[in-house]
Amino acid sequence: MPLADKASAWLAARSFRQRLVLSFAVGTVAGLGQAPFDLPLVSVLGFAALIGLLMQVGTARRGFWLGMWGGAGYFTVSLHWIVEPFFVDPVRHGWMAPFAIALMSFGLALFWALAAGLAVRLAKPGWPRALAWAVLMTVAELARASVLTGFPWAHPGHIWIDTALLPLASLVGPHGLTLYTTFMAAVLAALVIQRSRVALGVPLVHVAMIGLALAMPPAPLPAADAAVVRLVQPNAAQHLKWQPEMIPIFFERAINLTAALPQIEDRPPAMVIWPETSLAALLNQSEDWRAVISDAAGPVPVILGAQRLEGVTARNSLALLDETGAISAIYDKHHLVPFGEYVPLGDLMAQAGIRGLAAALQTGYRPGVGPTVLDLGDLGDAFLMICYEAIFPSYIRQVDRPDWMIHITNDAWFGQFSGPYQHLALARLRAAEQGIPVIRAANTGVSGAIDARGRVVSHLPLGVAGALDVVLPPPLPPTVYARFGDLPVYLVILATFLGLVLAHRRNRH
């Protein structure tokens, strides 16, 4: 008996509850494609196995629940770092951690459940259902990226970030990579189930895509006189960062790193960048602190992250200090982290004692006006991102094309395992999509320079204190994704749906 028939017979003998457990298990396998595991082909096999389970059900309701449990397994593995912020203050918040991961995993899995249920409802087993799932999953991920402020983290397409396929993001963007992932899984599942030798061609298609990515022009090299930027990584542990006795220690550490000798011979830094919320004082009340920073930096501007008050409104801000320490520009983070930097229905929640975990100011933050490009003179125009904003691919398309991107973040909240590496991976993806380099300063790491193809050219490791002088990489010309966004993905989705509809009508006649 062929292996596919044996698997089908074995599944047929399982109860539906057992299949739900199996769906959760194959979802966890699919989650292994995300950083730091970085096992993309294993992930594709997990998705293909999930499709195989969907082939065995005859009702949309059962498809819905298989999708729900498969998605929950995937997000439990890929987003398990979500518990880390609750253990910064475990006495107060530790009890929330298991509820957070459960609610996050099953909440996000709802998108997958709807996709799976619709695939079963609209398409018969075999090729039609597999392709319907691939398209509907991509639609579900598009929705997840925007519904309720959006959470475009751990998309299936992100499994290719640390592979040779990353340059393809400049053509199809993150959702195009997701569509490629789901199509690969769908084709593999359908061919195996139908015992087609054509399944052996799936790896060849993947090799061809790698060849296409490798054939794309590499990122340009910096000019001999390209500017040098210093990144400061103070490595302030989150549970110690705001302790009164530790504030001067971390500040002195950052000052010493700022004032250190140049690391590149005869090329002193033209700018110094500190991470998000790296200034303990409110920006409005930081004149003495800024004077010390300016003295350490010398005759160059400094970018740093700090909290500030605008009347009674709190902001998570990025400030540009000139050579004297005066504030010459301010950018306020405009996409805040729900339940981290603000709480929906905040006044009501505050009465129940629920406040944003990441907002040191008890009122929580209010958003800024929107995406911003900062004119830095000889250093060019820089697109600004604070922490969470780097996970969104569309904001940079709302402004004039910059020369580079600045990403300041405090990833101490994310622990020391998967969260910081996934956040770094998303910054790499932003660079590859647009063909624009990213310069990244992270409190605990990973700080570094990312070139226009998404390659990390130099970095400071996670969990160490240090300064890093990086040569500013040049950008590429505008990419296909920069020009057209997700339009090609929408067209492929539409064409696939039309093809499925026509095939369904032809079969009826």
Active site residues: 276, 333, 387
Q: How many residues does the chain have?
A: 509
Could you give the C-alpha distances from 301 to 90, 257, 290, 387, in angstroms and in order?
39, 15, 11, 21
Helix axes 97-122, 127-144, angle to 10 degrees: 140
CA atoms within 13 A on the CB side of 492: 19
Contact (CB, 8 A) for 504 and 191: no
| Integer CA distances (angstroms), 273 to 159, 255, 270, 440, 469, in order | 30, 12, 10, 9, 10
Phi, psi for residue 304 in degrees, rounded to 5: -145, 160
**Secondary element (H or E) of residue 374:** strand 373-375
Contact status, residue 420 vs residue 445, Cβ threshold 8 Å? yes
**Which residues contact residue 477 at a Cβ distance below 8 angstroms, ignoring those fewer than 6 apart?**
435
Contacts of residue 427, defined as CB under 8 A and 6 or more positions apart, other chains included, come to 390, 407, 438, 440, 450
Q: Report d(CA 426, CA 257) in Å as an integer.
A: 27
For residue 22, give the nearest of 73, 75, 80, 78 by alpha carbon: 73
The CA angle 95-101-107, to the nearest 5 degrees, is 130
Judge whether 309 and 284 are in contact, CB under 8 Å. yes
Residue 277 near residue 410, CB atoms below 8 Å? yes
Q: Compute the chain's Rg from CA coordinates.
A: 24
Angstrom distance (rounded) from CA 105 to CA 74: 8
In 10 A of CB 17, how many CB atoms?
A: 9
Number of neighbours of residue 226 by Cβ within 10 angstroms = 15
Q: Which of 278, 271, 318, 330 is nearest to 297 (CA)?
A: 271
Please name the residue that has the structure tokens 């005759």: 299
